[in-house]
Amino acid sequence: MWQSIISYIPNWIIFTQALVILIVPIIIYLTSKWLQSALGSRTSEGTPTANESEENIFENAKTKAEDTMPFTGNYETDLASIKKRIAKNCDVHFREFTMATGEMVAIIYVEGLYDKELIEVQVMKSLMFDDVEEMEKSSKDSKITKSYLTNKMLPISEIREALNLEEVVSDILVGSTAMLIDGIVEVLLLGSATGKTRSIEEPLSEGLLRGPRIGFTEILCDNTAILRRHGKNESLELIKFQVGTRAKKDLVVAYMNDIVNSELLEEVKRRIESINMDYLPESGYVEQLIEDDSLSPFQQAQNTERPDRVINSLLEGRVAILLDGSPFALIVPVTFSMLLQSPEDYYERWIPGTLLRMLRFLATFFALLAPALYIAFISYHPGLIPTKLVMSIIDARQGVPFPSLIEALIMETSIEILREAGVRLPKPIGPAMGIVGGLIIGDAAVNAGLVSPFLVIVVAVTAISSFAIPTYSAGITLRLLRFLAMFCAAILGAYGTVLFFLLLCSHLVKLKSFGVPYVSPMAPYRLDDWKDFIFRLPFKVMKRRPLIMKTKDSDRKK
Amino acid sequence: MNSMKGYFLSALSILLLLCLTGCWGNKEIEDLSVNVGLALDVGKESELEQELAEQGATYPKKNIITATLQTVPVLKGNKEQQMGNSKSSEMFLNTEVTGDSIFQLYRQYSLRRYRPIIGHHLKVLVISSELSRKMDLDKLVNFILRDNDIRPSCLVLISTGKASEALISSQPGDIPSFHLRSMVENQFRNNKILAPMILTELDGIMNSGSSFVLQNLVTAKGEVEFAGAGVLKGETNKWIGTLNEHEVEGLNWIKGDIEGGVIKTYDKSGEVLAYEIKSASTKIKSKVNGNDISFHVSIEADGRLIENWDKSQVPTDEKFLKEAEEYFEEELKDMLHKTTRKMQEKFKVDVGGFRNQLRIQHPKVWRTVKQDWDETFSKCDITYDVNITITDYGSSAK
C-alpha cells in the first residue's frame, strides 16, 4: 500500500517547477508594487505636502506681507512700490501723464499683451482732453473719485479694482492694464490680454469628411466660447481652476450639471486640485497627473481637438477638461471603444457607420497582431498556411538570411523610424520622404534579399491599419504593444500570441478610468451599451445614455 | 490587501499558462520541405538505393514497401538559372525509400535531404493495387492516421500500375499531388469519379468492417487518368479487384453521388443520344420478408437532351422526347444491372451502401445479418426503378 502511494509522489523536477511557480509571482508582485510606489498612485494620495525650507518660508513671509499691504493712495509711493516689483522686466512699460484735471496718472502695461486701441482711444483720450468743462466743474467740488471715473470718464466694460500689490502685479503680467491715479487708493485694472492668437482652424489631428470643421485653439476663453455656442443649454457648466504652483494657468472643467454623475465630478475636481506641478504647458501634463494607472500603456483620458466630440461626450455624462494654452481638451472617463470611434460614425447613416466601426476594430487587430501572426506562422505553424501559399512563401524566403523575428524587426523598426521622421520633416519634404522610405527602401530590401516580399505586405498593412485608428495616441499604444506581441510570437508561436492577447485582455479588464472599467460594454457586460460599441445602431434605438456612466438623467429624449 | 491578492493571482495565472504545453518547435518555414504526396508500392529498391546500400547505407529491415515521398518546393538556384530553364525544371522532388515501417521511412528521408519533412500539407496517398492485394490497408495507413501533423483530409487513391508513377507529371509546372487532389473535385462534370475518400472516412469504414471502393487511377507516359475503382473487402481490408468506369458510373447512381455528368446511349438506328444530368436522387428501400432481404432502388433524374445525331428527329416533338427518355432509362438500367451483377456475383461484396440502408430501416434484422453481410448481400434481390425526365433540349430546336 505504501508503495502505491509513493508511486503517486512526483519526482523532484515537479517540485522545482512548483517552487518556481510559487516564487516568481511573488517577485512579479513585489516589483510591480515597487514600481507603483515609485511612479504611480499620485492621484490616490491626498493633498500635496509642502516641501519648502525654513529660510524660504521666512523670505516668503516678508514679501507676502508687503504684497498684501493695501495701497496708500499716495501716487509716488504706490508707483515706486510697483516699480520696485516689476520694473526690471523689459516688456513692462510705465506711461505717466497728467489728467485734464491735473492729477498725475500712471498707466502700466505689458508690451504685446495690452489692448492698445482700448487704452489709447478710450482711456487716455478721455482722460486728457474730453469733457474738460465738465471736469472743471466737478473738480471744484472735490478731488476726482473712483466712482466718478468709472461712471463718467472711462467707457470700458471691463474694469476691476485692486487693493494691494500682489493683485496688481499678477494681473499686469497676464495682460491687464493698470491705472494708478493720484489720490485714489484703488488701482484700476482695465481690459484684458489681447496678445496675438491663432485663428480657429480645422483640427489637424482629427480630420473628418463630414462634420464641423471647427477645432479648439490655444485660447481658453475661445474654447469655452465654442463649447457655449453648441446650443442654448443652461445645464452646461464650466468651472475654473488654477493649476501650476509657479506659473498659474486656468483650467476649465466642463460638464452638464443635470447629467453628470456627481461622484465622478467630485473625483475629477479632487484630482485636479491635487495636481502638484510648477507648470503645465499642455493638457498632456494634466492627463498624466490625474490618470489612474501610470504603468498602463493605455491612455486613461481621451484628448481631442474637436468641440463636437467634447459636447457629445458631455451629453453622455462625461467630463471635459480644458487647459489654457492647449488646443487639446481631455475627456474623462474614457473607454477603449471611444478610442476607436469617430464622430463621423454618428454623422453618417448607421449602416455605413457600423461598417466603418467594424473596419476599425479589424484594423486594430491587424495593427496589434499582424506581424506577430506572421512570425508565428512562418516559424512555428507551417501547417496552418494554405499549401500553395506555403510554397510561394518558401520560394520568397529562400534567400532571406534572418529568422522571421529579426526580419520583421528590421522592417517594423525602419517603418517606425520613417514615420517618426515624417512627423519632424518640413511639410513639402514629408510625402517625398514617405515615398522614398516606404517604396524604395522596401523594394530595395526585398531585392537585396534582406526581407521577403510577403513581410513587406504584412508591414505595410500593419502601418496603414495603425493609421486607421482615429485617436493618434491610441495608435502609439498599439505600435508599442505590437513589438511585445512579436517577441511573444517569436518565443512561443501562436500560443505565445494568444498568451500575449490574454495578458493584454486581463490588463484591460482590470484597468479603470475614473472608476469606469476600460473595456466597459464588454466587461462588465452591459448589453444595452452594445448599441453604441462595435455597432452603431440607429438613433431611434439609442434612446438612453450609456448605463456605465450612471448619469442623473439617463433618457436622451424628453 | 485586496490588490495584493489580485496581483498574486494574475502573476500566478501567467505562470500557469506558460507551463501549458504549446508548439515549441521553432523551425523557419524555408528550412522545411513540405510533403504533399505519398505513393506506396511493393518493396523494391531503386537502382540508387541499391548503389547506396552497396556503399553501406543499410539497416535491419524487410523490403516490403517502397514509399515515394513527394516534396515541394524544389530549391532554385539564382535568378538567371531560373529564367534560363524554368520550363524544364520540375516543381517537385520525389524521393524513393524502401523498407517496412512507414514512419521509419519518413525519418530515413532526413538522411538523404537536409530540409526536414513536414506532413501538414499531405494531399494524396496513392497505393498500388498490387501492394494492397498483399497487405492489409490498415497496416499501410496506420502511421498516416496516427500522425498528428498529417491532416485527416488527405485523399486516398488506388493505382493499377506503380503508384509512384502517379506522382510524376509530364506537364511542366504541374505538381501531381495537387493535380490529383483537384481532379477529384470534377465530380460535377463527370459521374465516373467516386466521391473523394479521405483518411478519416477511411478510418471509419475500416473500423466498421464493411467493404469499400477507392478511386482507381491508371498511368501512361506521365499522364494520369481516373479509371474505375479498386474494391477492397471489408474483412481483410485487401484489394480484390477493379470495377471499370462503366460500373463506377452505375455505383455512383446507386449511392446517390451523382452531381452531374452524362448518360450516353444509341437509338434504334445506332445514332448517338446524350443526356446531361442536372440533378439526380436515389432512394434505396429495403424489404425484409422472413429470411429474404431485398432492396428496391428508385432513381430520379432531371436533365436536358444535349446531343442527338439523328437529324430526322425534331426535339420539340413530345413523342420523340418520351422516346429518348426511354432510351436513357434503358441504358441506365443496363448499367445498374451490370454493376449489381459484378458486386453480387464476382466480388460478393456490398460497396453500394445497402448495408447502411438496412441498418437504418431494419435495425433488428441488421443485427442478425451484420456478421456475414457481404455473403448475405450477394444473395439479395435488388430491383430498380428508373425515372429520367428531359426537362429541356438546350438552345437549339433543330
pLDDT in tens, A113-170: 888 888 888 888 888 876 555 555 555 455 667 777 777 777 888 888 888 888 888 8
Which of the four pLDDT bands, split at 50, 70 and 90, describes residue B20? low
Whole-number pLDDT of residue A556: 83
When mean pLDDT is compared over A38-42, A135-139, B84-88, B293-297, the highest value belongs to B293-297
Nearest Cα to A371, choosing from A500, A471, A501, A487? Answer: A487
3-state percent breakdown (helix, strand, coil) of chain B, nearest 5: 40, 30, 30
Averaged over B97-117, what is the pLDDT? 91
Which of the four pLDDT bands, split at 50, 70 and 90, describes residue B327? very high
Which of the four pLDDT bands, split at 50, 70 and 90, describes residue A359? very high
From A23-32, A399-408, A436-445, the region with the lowest mean pLDDT: A436-445
pLDDT(B85) > 60: no
Whole-number pLDDT of residue A48: 41
Torsion over CA of A497, A502, A508 and A510, rounded to 10 degrees?
Answer: -150
Q: How far apart are CA A377 and CA A393, in angstroms?
A: 11
Percentage of the residues of chain A whose pLDDT score is greater than 70: 92
Percentage of the residues of chain A whose pLDDT score is greater than 90: 33
pLDDT(B398) > 80: no
**Burial class, A527, CB count within 10 angstroms (exposed 0-12 / middle 13-18 / buried 19+):** exposed
pLDDT single digits (tens) A4-20: 888 888 888 889 988 98
With a CB cutoff of 8 Å and minimum separation 6, the contacts of A122 are A154, A155, A156
Q: What are the phi and psi torsion angles at A392 (to 5°)?
A: -70, -30
**Mean pLDDT of the residues in chain B:** 88
Which of the four pLDDT bands, split at 50, 70 and 90, describes residue A315? very high
**Burial class, A469, CB count within 10 angstroms (exposed 0-12 / middle 13-18 / buried 19+):** buried
Q: How far apart are CA A394 and CA A390, in angstroms?
A: 6
Domain ranges of chain A: 54-190, 220-334, 347-517
Residue entry with cell 473625483? A267
Cα A1 → chain centroid: 70
Q: How far apart are CA B174 and CA B245, in angstroms?
A: 25
Averaged over B32-47, what is the pLDDT? 92
Indicate the DSSP class of residue B58. -
Residue entry with cell 422472413? B290
Cα A229 → chain centroid: 22
Whole-number pLDDT of residue A193: 74
Q: What are the phi and psi torsion angles at B324 (to 5°)?
A: -60, -40
Top-confidence residue, A156 or A242:
A242
Q: B204 at the A interface (CB within 8 A)?
A: no
Whole-number pLDDT of residue B346: 92
Are A533 and A522 in contact by the 8 Å Cβ rule? The answer is yes
Averaged over B358-378, what is the pLDDT? 90
Between residues 69 and 108 of chain B, which touch chain A (CB distance below 8 Å)?
72-73, 75-76
Which of the four pLDDT bands, split at 50, 70 and 90, describes residue B81? very low
Whole-number pLDDT of residue B24: 56
Averaged over B363-370, what is the pLDDT? 90
pTM reported for the whole predicted model: 0.81
Q: Which domains does chain B have, with CATH numbers?
A: 29-243 (no CATH), 248-392 (3.30.300.210)
Residues of A with CB under 8 A from a CB of B: 17, 20-21, 24-26, 28-29, 32-33, 377-385, 387-388, 390-391, 393-395, 397-398, 400, 403-404, 490, 492-496, 499, 502-503, 506, 510
B113 vs chain A: nearest CA distance in angstroms? 16
Averaged over B380-394, what is the pLDDT? 91
Which ipTM value was assigned to this complex?
A: 0.81
pLDDT(A471) > 80: yes
pLDDT(A62) > 70: no
Q: Which of B17, B22, B73 sits opposite A394 (nearest CB)?
A: B73
Are A534 and A542 in contact by the 8 Å Cβ rule? The answer is no
Torsion over CA of A42, A48, A53 and A57, rounded to 10 degrees?
Answer: 160
Q: Do B30 and A398 make contact, defined as CB atoms within 8 angstroms? A: yes
Extract long-range pairs of A394-397: CB within 8 Å, 24+ residues apart.
A394/B29, A394/B30, A394/B32, A394/B34, A394/B73, A395/B73, A395/B76, A396/A452, A396/A453, A396/A454, A397/A452, A397/A454, A397/B28, A397/B29, A397/B30
pLDDT single digits (tens) A189-204: 887 777 777 888 888 8
* HSE toward the beta carbon, residue A435, CA cutoff 13 A: 4
Which of the four pLDDT bands, split at 50, 70 and 90, describes residue A51? very low
- Exposed e or buried b for every residue in B109-120, given b needs 16+ CB within 10 A? beeeeebebbbb
B177 vs chain A: nearest CA distance in angstroms? 11
Residues of A in contact with B93 (CB under 8 A): none
A398 vs chain B: nearest CA distance in angstroms? 6
Averaged over A335-356, what is the pLDDT? 92
Indicate the DSSP class of residue A253. E
Q: Do A382 and B32 make contact, defined as CB atoms within 8 angstroms? A: yes
